[in-house]
Chain A
């Protein structure tokens, strides 16, 4: 069964460093998302991406964050200068859209646990 994959599973970085989190969405999906979950808290939306553009972003997704689809399969989240409060689990998700009665269910990857020291 197709699944969303994410690398790395764990990333430890120093404050102020740049990190790139990588995701491979399900191949026929059109919409891509990043969410984050600070330890013990609820899952929060960061950004959605469609047709090579950001379609929506939250207030969390400030200028330190960027997303890119560098090729036909990868979808990346870059944090330019990490802060301690960026420590969280970052989930990538993808969905196929609302075509032909589909439910546009978002399928999540296993997550990348980011620790900023």
Chain B
């Protein structure tokens, strides 16, 4: 089974509208972290937002928020007020087993969602 599933290979959104990018995950760990990264066409990987499995509040960072539904094992990224510069590939990633070590656990990535923001 895939550990991270992103079912939307491509999404379109109008400028200034909100968009939700889906991510579901599969783990038997009690302690894990969920991340979203943005990859523009230039290729770099930009960290956007983090949600810990024990965090009770949904994470927010500026226009980015994470809709975390633990029972459903979903961690959807919501981008509000989309801008043309938001056009990029977006990856959801998970880190498991973090409390077994002091850190340094690998990330497992999904296949990504290509977002295109239109005028």
Binding site for B on A (CB under 8 A): 30-31, 33, 35, 41-45, 48, 50, 55-56, 58, 89, 91, 93, 95-99, 102-111, 113
Task: List residues of chain B with CB within 8 A of the CB of A30.
Answer: 103-104
Complex CA–CA separation, A93 to B98 (angstroms): 17
| A93 vs B91: C-alpha distance when bound (angstroms) | 15
Residues in B whose Cβ lies below 8 Å from that of A107: 47
Give chain A nearest CB distance to B60 CB in angstroms: 14
Q: B residues engaging A (CB < 8 A)?
A: 33, 35, 37, 42-47, 50, 52, 91, 93, 95, 98-99, 101-112
CA distance A58 to B106 in the complex (A): 10
Can you list 16 residue pairs at the A/B interface with Cβ under 8 Å?
A30-B103, A31-B103, A35-B107, A43-B91, A48-B105, A50-B104, A55-B101, A56-B105, A58-B106, A98-B101, A98-B103, A104-B98, A104-B105, A111-B44, A111-B45, A113-B43
For the complex, what is the distance from the CA of A45 to the CA of B7, rounded to whole Å?
Answer: 21
Contact present for B45 and A43 (CB under 8 Å) = yes
A42 and B112 within 8 A (CB) = yes
